[in-house]
Structure 1
Amino acid sequence: MASKVIHAFYNDDDILMLAVKKVKAAKHHIEEVYCPFPVHGLDKAMGLAPTRIAITAFIYGCIGITIATLMMNYIMIEDWPQDIGGKPSFSYLENMPAFVPIMFELTVFFAAHLMVITFYMRSKLWPFKQAENPDVRTTDDLFLMEIEIHDNEEELKSLLADTGAVEINISEK
């Protein structure tokens, strides 16, 4: 059985923020908010849990620096030692100052690329995936707040109208 949802459209991000706060204060659960651009503080106003992408970025950076260190030690010290610029290749620690740029670059490379892959997998964004946006106007200039209806349709309509919604629609989810 499909559930009914109410879509409230707003034309300003500040009005949207105030509306989210009023709806949360009235103890209604906001299913989703669709925005044409990121709105600072909206996640906190909606009560969403903080993201853990920074932790994964640190872990991916550690993987990158580890791979860089192991790769340079194997290539430049063990497998094919070369006398480059008068620097002997006796140990990794003697040559580490020359390896710092490579270590930095691979740390950033691994962190950035693996974070993007993690974000796409976590968000279930695959190539050729159809958009789940309920209204195409939210990619241009309108903000949409989606709230599920539980026998409180009139109450929600009046609350959303008081918050400054420019349009209120009811649809099946």
Structure 2
Amino acid sequence: MKLNEIRDNEGATKNRMRVGRGIGSGKGKTAGRGVKGQKARTGVSIKGFEGGQMPLHRRLPKRGFTNIHAHDLNEVNLGRVQEAVDAGRLDASAPVTVEALVAAGILSRPRDGVKLLGVGELTTKLSFEVTRASKSAIEAVEKAGGSVTVAYAAGVAHRGTASAEA
């Protein structure tokens, strides 16, 4: 192969439509812009404009807010963890951490940590190290003989604390 022989795959590039080149081209006369008016001209963007009337998006009140301090946690049910243990993807002797759950395929990515939820049956004795856990999940794990350690992930401070170590 030579540099002058390198080409794109067949169909990888497509020639642009040349508009305004006569009625036989299929995109002549108005060049696909419809007929007359401001939008038929070039350089126009009037997305929310209502002819000078107060636009709808400005007439409606603002609602809610986005909490910039909110933690984006993965939610994991005990039933999913038990399925992974039964399938042999999760080691029951090692502590169940975020990394272990990602490696087992239960989570796709770690995010800010894990919240353990109590939906499903847990029969195996497991040791969990999670960011948060529901009361029902803690009860179910302890009933099965395991333990739950609520350890806040690095960079995720709990309400009222300055850092994860504090």
TM-score range, shorter chain: under 0.3
User: Which structure carries more relative contact order (alpha carbon 8 Å, separation 6+)?
Assistant: 1
- Structure with greater helix share of residues: 1
Structure number, greater radius of gyration: 2
